[in-house]
Amino acid sequence: MLGNLFKRLRGWLAVKALEKNPVYGMVFTTIRDTLTDPSKGLGKYADQEFKQELTEQILKEVAEVVSTQNPVMANRKKLADYVLKMAKYQVLILPAPNEPEEEVSGLRGKPGITGEIKAHLKEIAEKDEEIKELAWSLDTPTVQDIYEACVVRYWVAVFKAAVFHSIRLALGDYHPTPEKDWYRPFVAAMCAWEEYNYREKIGLPDISPIAALKYLSFFHVVMSGAKYPNFEWEEHYKRKRA
């Protein structure tokens, strides 16, 4: 389905340049694996026109990263932004412990991530500007309609984060020992930060503001250029406690 699109895109100068770059193969593998998978997510539910527009958009952004003098940091900026967007919707759709839906992300139960936010989606859609605008774009939406729209936004953010995550790996911006890599701790920290924001907006009991700022600081450490952001982040707070 996307074959003709990929052939057309290869005619673009930017994408031709990508063919000579080691990130090219990983990017196109990620795009194909996501958008042609008929079993779930965008591959199953998005129409061809949407997939084409999304592919064109993401390849333009990839070309921007590849063409910079510092592709590692350019990629980190896009990756961090999309992880933050992904986290905003992740905590909104994360099932609670008492729901029959399986929790497959492995995030629920980590510090600051409870699965309790989904039950407050209606109130959040009245108080969070982005979710309010999303609800307004729908025609007399039910809570289920808003939830499903959030799921689609989540899928898109996951897709974009996955593309720049694949570039991160191609550029060697990771720890060779998977247990020490910074990506999954970063995702968890951003989810905790977004859950804190929702709780504050609707008046739910929450972790302390100091703890919330600790999670947000992970974002700034990633953007500081630290080689191993999770190590720098953890060491910083160890020194503060000392």
Residue given tokens 């593998």 in the structure block: 29
Residue 206's pLDDT is: 76
φ and ψ at residue 208, rounded to 5 degrees: -70, 150
- Which of 52, 67, 82 delimits the end of a domain? 67
pLDDT tens-digit readout, 125-134? 999 999 999 9
Rounded to an integer, the average pLDDT of 192-219 is: 90
3-7, 91-95, 104-108, 151-155: range with lowest mean pLDDT: 3-7
Residues 89 and 118 in one domain: yes
Residues 20 and 41 in one domain: yes
Residues 54 and 80 in one domain: no
Radius of gyration of the chain (CA): 19
Residues 125 and 229 in one domain: yes
- Which of 43, 67, 91 delimits the end of a domain? 67
Q: How far is CA 107 from CA 1, 35, 112, 150, 179, in A?
A: 33, 24, 10, 18, 15
Count the domains in the chain: 2
Whole-prediction pTM? 0.90
Residues 62 and 75 in one domain: no
pLDDT tens-digit readout, 135-185? 999 999 999 999 999 999 999 999 999 999 999 999 999 999 999 999 999
Give the contacts of 12 (CB within 8 A, at least 6 positions apart). Answer: 59
Burial class of residue 62 in the structure, from the number of CB atoms within 10 Å of its CB (0-12 exposed, 13-18 middle, 19+ buried): buried
Residues 199 and 88 in one domain: yes
What confidence category does residue 236 fall into, taking pLDDT thresholds of 50, 70 and 90?
Answer: confident
User: What residue numbers bound the domain in which 179 lies?
Assistant: 71-241
Residues 120 and 151 in one domain: yes
Residues 82 and 124 in one domain: yes
Residues 48 and 78 in one domain: no
Residues 81 and 38 in one domain: no
Residues 43 and 90 in one domain: no
